[in-house]
């Protein structure tokens, strides 16, 4: 069964304190790993797509990396406006989740000034 | 702003009732997806339509149904509502119908069943 586990569930950082969020996955035939940011009561906002192990993508203070079993979202020198829930999702092969997104439960990030 | 619109933003109704949620995808996107998000379950995929045809089904209850119209907007119908159906319902859209395409989410409809 396709599965996504994110850790930690919650993370509190001081402004400027860099850290990483983890997304572990089991999926038959990975066809994409996606990171989203979600603010309270809002829809998820697309951040990155990663397709193969070793791939990295960056956007401002965020950098996503991918291995064969997990992905990391690195946050460098975070600011209070980076506070949000970060969601990881995978798309597996057609035989498993029918090729649709399986989401983790997210990591709630709080950045204090 | 993702370009995906959803109406209404909030909906309060009673158990046993029926409601319809509406979604308009981003311009040019042919696929529409529906998700349910509750505090304990996280984001759960319900159903996908691609260019008017049902493409994939997830954890959608038999009391729920959806359709996509020729202008590509979609509606999610929820009937015989129960307290446990209270949740955020999101619509997302993507360019194609297959894998490896990012989905863009709308702002959601918050459904409260009393």
Residues B56-109 have pLDDT tens digits of 898 899 999 999 999 999 999 999 999 999 999 999 999 876 655 789 999 999
Residue A95 confidence (pLDDT) above 60? no
Q: Give me the pLDDT at residue B100, please.
A: 58
B6: its two tokens: 């959803």
Given CB atoms, is B107 within the 8 Å cutoff of chain A?
A: yes
* Residue of chain B with shortest Cα separation from A31: B100
pLDDT score, position B30 = 93
Number of A to B CB contacts under 8 A, please give it: 64
**Residue B111 CB coordination number (10 Å):** 20
Cα(A108)–Cα(B90) distance, integer angstroms: 19
> Beta partners for B49?
B32, B54
Helices (H), chain B: none
Q: Identify all chain B residues contacting A91, using CB atoms and an 8 Å cutoff.
A: 99-100
pLDDT at A73 over 80: yes
Q: How far is CA A100 from its chain centroid?
A: 16
Which residues have C-beta within 8 Å of that of residue A33, sequence separation ≥ 6? A23, A25, A49, A50, A51, A66, A71, A88, A89, A90, A91
Cα A97 from Cα A87, distance rounded (Å): 18
């Amino acid at each position: 069964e396709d599965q996504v586990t994110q850790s930690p569930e919650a993370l509190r950082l001081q402004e400027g304190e860099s850290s990483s969020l983890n997304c572990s996955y089991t999926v038959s035939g990975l066809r994409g790993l996606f990171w989203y940011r979600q603010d309270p009561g809002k829809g998820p906002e697309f951040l990155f797509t990663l397709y193969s192990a070793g791939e990295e993508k960056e956007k401002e203070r965020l950098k996503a990396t991918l291995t064969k079993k997990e992905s990391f979202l690195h946050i460098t020198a975070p600011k209070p406006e980076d506070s949000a829930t970060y969601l990881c999702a995978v798309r597996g092969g057609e035989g498993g989740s029918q090729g649709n997104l399986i989401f983790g439960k997210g990591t709630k990030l709080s950045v204090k000034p | 702003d993702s370009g995906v619109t959803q109406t209404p933003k909030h909906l309060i109704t009673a158990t046993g009732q029926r409601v319809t949620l509406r979604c308009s995808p981003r311009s040019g996107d042919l696929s529409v997806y529906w998700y349910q998000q509750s505090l304990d379950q996280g984001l759960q995929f319900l159903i996908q339509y691609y260019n008017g045809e049902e493409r994939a089904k997830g954890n959608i209850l038999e009391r729920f149904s959806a359709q996509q119209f020729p202008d590509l907007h979609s509606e999610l119908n929820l009937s015989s509502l129960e307290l446990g159906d209270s949740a955020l319902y999101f619509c997302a859209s993507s360019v194609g119908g297959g894998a490896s395409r990012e989905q863009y989410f709308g702002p959601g409809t918050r459904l409260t069943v009393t």
